Structure 1
Amino acid sequence: MKVNRTEMEQLVKDLISHASVVNTQGEREMAEVLYRYIVELPYFQQRPEQVLLTRTYHDYQERYNVIAYVRGSAVQSSETVILMGHFDTVGMDDYGAWQGQATDPDQLKHIIREYQLPPEVQAHAHSEDWLFGRGSVDMKSGVASHLYVLKHFAQHPEELQGNILVVLTSDEEDSSHGIRSALKDLRRIKEKEGFAFIAAINSDYTSARYSGDENRYIYVGTVGKLLPTFFIAGKETHVGQVFEGFDPNLIISELTREIDYNPLLCDELYGEWTLPPVSLKQTDLKPFYDVQTPLTAFAYYNLFVHSWSPDQVLEKLKAHGLRAFERAIETYQERYELYGKLSGTRFDPPPIQPRVYTFEEYYQRVKAQHGSTFERTIGDFCQHVVEQQTLDIRSYACRVVEQVWKWDKVKEPVMIVFYSNLYIPRVAVSEQTAEGSRLIRAIGQAVEQVQPDCPKPIVMKKFYPYISDMSYMALSDGEQSIHTYEQNVPVWGERYRLNVEDIRAINVPVCNIGPYGFDAHKKFERLELTYSLEIVPLLTYSVIRHLLAAA
């Protein structure tokens, strides 16, 4: 396959020109643009049934995915390679006064050149090999690469001993409604067409891993992400009687100190380490100002995984939570004692014992106190919350835990750890499996073939380090781990389920061969053209050819 650089660049600019910010009408319009592009190709004009515009399921937004497939004609085979990517982007408020030009790469580049900028950005702004704009690297260029490969195989199905299927999805940047919905469509197509999916190639963005890094990366597998969350109840009091209460904010502060940037919570597999966890929200739940201290607090943390399962993470975080709770009690008592010495008042601290539970443990504890009445009431509460439709899932989960806590007959300080977001599963691709070995070997052959045309080293690594829809193409966790996760997500409703059955039905090794650039999700988002528009499509094409080579 020869790549027409001019055609590719124009395709990327055309896609960028259609704003497709997640959770906006533009997202829906982008799906229609992609559908029209594909259905107008001669191959699909003769086979319109092989292009689908499908609405997402259990979604409060009206949005769509686009799916198209080409049957190879060299030898009839059920083996099928999935090409996947998302067409939504983050918002454009970060562009400020340039917001109107964020989807016009040529104008935006001209404007950027007029400002005093960091040296690297300035150099790229004056280079013909860089293109700026929202979605340029994340990931309109990756979508363009897949479209180019799809068009080539639509023109040359005789090159395939098997089939390719392209699935372009909405809502990757928020809650992955797109890919989670597309799984159901893929299952139906698989059954209808008799496809056997053997691998999935994503084309999300790649970037330098450190300052001065010249490598261009291909990733096999992807990082998983959990959102461990803590609900903490203390004891309220009047600020004029401060030591008669126990501030949950003190516990939560110690908790963040225990978890934030902690290398002991980095996960290693195949010699690669996750980044440490970091706080994403920390707040008490007091709704207004008065001189009563807060009673409850809430915090959640980003946590990446390579090998740890959800149940292992809960056990680790219970231990860290216990340490934080104990330190908070020690601090409280030490300061109470010192205040007593300074003021000449009596030191009489209330007895406080650190209590830390997973949500499942705590729910069963309270259920044992109240029985079926409690279960019915919590179920009715969840149903009511779900009917509100727009409540943030993390706030929803917190409200459910709070309702359970209100039923607890023991009104002592407590910490409850749970998950308040959909699990974004880890996918570990092993050379010890036939499917994993086949994909890794095909990538190695493709790199060997294409590397002479690329001046930068192309390096294969495990675990795509950014969140991506690849996580929903396979599961590396066992049934018990997933069950534990589900029992510790205190939300109810189809929208909030991890559709394990759909993932298991696809269950293919994944890799990411994506465009190269910088500053995804930032106003200087930009794309290196030569690698992204020429090398990436060639690599993708070559991997497919090695997986589905004609005899």
Structure 2
Amino acid sequence: MQNKFSKNVYDTMERLVSMPSISGTEQESIAANKIYGSLAQVPYFKENSYNVGIENIKDDPLNRSFVWAVVNGKEYSDDTFILSGHLDVVGVEEFGHLRSAAFDIKKCTERISEMKLDESTESDIKSGNWIFGRGTADMKFGLALNMELIKEFSINRNFKGNLMILIVPGEESNSEGMLSAVPFLLKLSRSRKYRYCGMIISEPSVPEKGETDSKRLYIGSVGKIMPLFFCVGKETHVGESLNGLNPNLLVSEINRLLECNGSFSDNVSGTVTPPPMCLKQTDLKKLYSVQSPLYAASYYNVMTLKAGYEKLIEDLKNLANTAFLNVMENIFDKRNRFMKKYNQKLNFESFKPCVVTYSDILEQVKEKYKNFNSYIDQKIDIWKKERRDNQSIAVNIVRETYELYGEKKPMIIISFIPPYYPHRYMKSRDNLGRRFMNVVDKSIEYAKNELHEDIVKTDFFMGISDASYTGIDEGESSVDDLVSNIVGYDTIYKFPADELKRIDIPVIIFGGEGKDLHKYTERLNLPYSFNVVPKIYKYIILNMLC
């Protein structure tokens, strides 16, 4: 390390990496407590204990918490700049025999050559400029940098306004930490008259396809929405297979039409999202019998950059209607061929395509069954005790809702299920946005002229990130419509729509240089991350809080 600050960041990162804070485990809670304990021992926070805290996530089965701390500058201003990052990491199963070394930077870097490596990884090892281990890049370096910056700025406090650090769990799962932090940030801003003038989320920059290295600063983050197709068929005995409607046919046709369909890719200034992919497809029949299934479901990963809810739901409804028509046409054709081949004249039940949204049927069910909410709450408690994930619970909620619905006929019910990540893009639409963008542009010039590093300003971070929860780019009515179709909204999934409409924090994603996130070859570049990135952070902070 070239200086004391860099060494402090490295030492803190090494301690953080040694905490196996795998997402979805109690280790997240343990790590949060250790991080809080470390910050609470900083002299400034010992004297100003009201400026550091650890907040529990309400109703979290793992009792997780997020950590925050604020340093007030010598000169008063309501401007408050936030440094944020997540403390959780993904699992280490792919490390094989090196799993015991995955959380030890020194051992992992020394022994990584025991694994099968590609040419790029071997080249990086030989250079001596990279360290290996779970969380080195994603994102214990970013956390360490933020922690050491808040400590350093707490000593002289030679800035105007407030510098805040926010460390959250759950980013690698459903962003439970950031979702819970949004109402807290809004409450804090009201009680202390803070104005959030900007945020850096310390996710690493990774090489894009064809690049050998990556020094990028992202001014937007891709969104993610998960449409669910719940298909209701018409049950029949296998001896009368031509007289029913197997819902597996409906979900299969939906999958054929939607999987990798480029029409559902979003495009902004040359940045294109990958087409949708099916994350799960299943029928809901629990036990074997010679009766056809009644229900089947599938849900998909759809990524967005600017696409609005109205167009998306309309496109999904059209696709579902086409799938239904295709299935019926196929069945009619097979019925006719069967009768012609075997010279039989049979009467078959016909079905008309029916595509509805979840909010459509929910409204009618609630009107008829006044105790519907308490009924579903009891069911959710049972499903949670069975340790079902949010997605499975959402499918069950739709099933229960349909079974109380008046019209018993084949149909496709379209909804969205957790998690939902709004797309974000820092626009110069107001004074705060313009000011932050101006400082960002100057910091890139500073990096080029003073640090001799070319940092590319990039429109979108294409990995899902907590930047999605810094405001809403959609219109309010559009978001309200979308949220009404998120199954389990405000029960299994707390999406702070009202708070996000009010908070609107300008945000960038910028951190160290990493490679192979979520792989056993995850690694962090030392020279750029430790010698360049901290200087750019300080430049941005001092120019925002002045």
Q: TM-score, normalised on structure 2?
A: 0.93
Question: Of residues 505, 516, 519 in structure 2, which corresponds to 1:522?
Answer: 519
Question: How many Å separate the matches in 1 of 2:350 and 2:310?
Answer: 31
How far the C-alpha of 1:149 sits from its partner, in A, is: 1.9
Q: Name the structure 2 match of 1:379.
A: 373
Flag the 1:408–1:42 CA change in 2: closer, same or farther, 3 A: closer
Q: Name the structure 1 match of 2:267.
A: 268
Deviations 1:107-126 (A, max 9, x none): 12222212342222223334
How far the C-alpha of 1:396 sits from its partner, in A, is: 1.9
How far the C-alpha of 1:343 sits from its partner, in A, is: 3.8
Question: How many Å separate the matches in 2 of 1:500 and 1:409?
Answer: 31
Q: Which moved more, 1:149-158 or 1:414-423?
A: 149-158
Q: Name the structure 2 match of 1:200.
A: 199
How far the C-alpha of 1:95 sits from its partner, in A, is: 2.0
> Which one-letter code corresponds to 2:268 in the other structure?
L
SS of residue paired to 2:128:
coil
Stretches of structure 2 that go unaligned for 5 or more consecutive residues are none
Question: Of residues 403, 417, 420 in structure 1, which corresponds to 2:417?
Answer: 420
How far the C-alpha of 1:233 sits from its partner, in A, is: 0.8
Flag the 1:455–1:94 CA change in 2: closer, same or farther, 3 A: farther
What is the correspondence of 1:33-44 to structure 2 with a 5 Å cutoff? 33-44=34-45
Aligned residues with identical type, % of pairs: 29
Does 2:51 correspond to 1:50? yes
SS of residue paired to 2:352:
coil
Q: Name the structure 1 match of 2:295.
A: 296
Q: Name the structure 1 match of 2:459.
A: 462
| Contact in 1 for aligned 2:264/2:276 (Cα 8 Å) | yes
Question: How many Å separate the matches in 1 of 2:4 and 2:178?
Answer: 28
Flag the 1:240–1:205 CA change in 2: closer, same or farther, 3 A: farther
Question: How many Å separate the matches in 2 of 1:402 and 1:56?
Answer: 29
Question: How many Å separate the matches in 1 of 2:108 and 2:193?
Answer: 47
| Contact in 2 for aligned 1:219/1:511 (Cα 8 Å) | yes
What is the correspondence of 1:231-380 to structure 2 with a 5 Å cutoff? 231-346=230-345, 349-364=348-363, 371-372=367-368, 374-376=369-371, 378-380=372-374
How far the C-alpha of 1:478 sits from its partner, in A, is: 2.1
SS of residue paired to 1:78:
strand
> Which one-letter code corresponds to 2:234 in the other structure?
K
Question: Of residues 476, 486, 491 in structure 2, which corresponds to 1:489?
Answer: 486
How far the C-alpha of 1:19 sits from its partner, in A, is: 0.9
How far the C-alpha of 1:426 sits from its partner, in A, is: 1.8
How far the C-alpha of 1:538 sits from its partner, in A, is: 1.9
Question: How many Å separate the matches in 1 of 2:324 and 2:51?
Answer: 58
Question: How many Å separate the matches in 1 of 2:391 and 2:317?
Answer: 19
Q: Name the structure 2 match of 1:535.
A: 532
Flag the 1:27–1:364 CA change in 2: closer, same or farther, 3 A: closer
> Which one-letter code corresponds to 2:378 in the other structure?
H
Q: Name the structure 2 match of 1:449.
A: 446
Q: Name the structure 2 match of 1:27.
A: 28
How far the C-alpha of 1:455 sits from its partner, in A, is: 6.2
Q: Which moved more, 1:291-300 or 1:308-317?
A: 308-317
Question: How many Å separate the matches in 1 of 2:126 and 2:182?
Answer: 43
Q: When the two structures are aligned, how many residues end up with a matched partner?
A: 542
CA RMSD of aligned residues (A): 2.2
Q: Which moved more, 1:340-349 or 1:117-126?
A: 340-349
> Which one-letter code corresponds to 1:387 in the other structure?
D
How far the C-alpha of 1:261 sits from its partner, in A, is: 1.4
Deviations 1:358-393 (A, max 9, x none): 1122334556xxx53x342x3233111232334422
Question: How many Å separate the matches in 1 of 2:9 and 2:483?
Answer: 43
Deviations 1:220-275 (A, max 9, x none): 12222111111001122222321111121111111112111111111233553322
Does 2:105 correspond to 1:105? yes
Flag the 1:455–1:445 CA change in 2: closer, same or farther, 3 A: closer
Flag the 1:32–1:380 CA change in 2: closer, same or farther, 3 A: closer
Q: TM-score, normalised on structure 1?
A: 0.92
Deviations 1:144-166 (A, max 9, x none): 121222122122311x1222100
SS of residue paired to 1:76:
strand
Question: How many Å separate the matches in 2 of 1:347 and 1:127?
Answer: 76
Question: How many Å separate the matches in 2 of 1:381 and 1:242?
Answer: 35
Question: How many Å separate the matches in 1 of 2:531 and 2:59?
Answer: 38
Q: Which moved more, 1:206-215 or 1:146-155?
A: 206-215
What is the correspondence of 1:75-94 to structure 2 with a 5 Å cutoff? 75-94=75-94
Q: Which moved more, 1:199-208 or 1:533-542?
A: 533-542
> Which one-letter code corresponds to 1:503 in the other structure?
L
| Contact in 2 for aligned 1:20/1:87 (Cα 8 Å) | yes
| Contact in 2 for aligned 1:145/1:536 (Cα 8 Å) | no
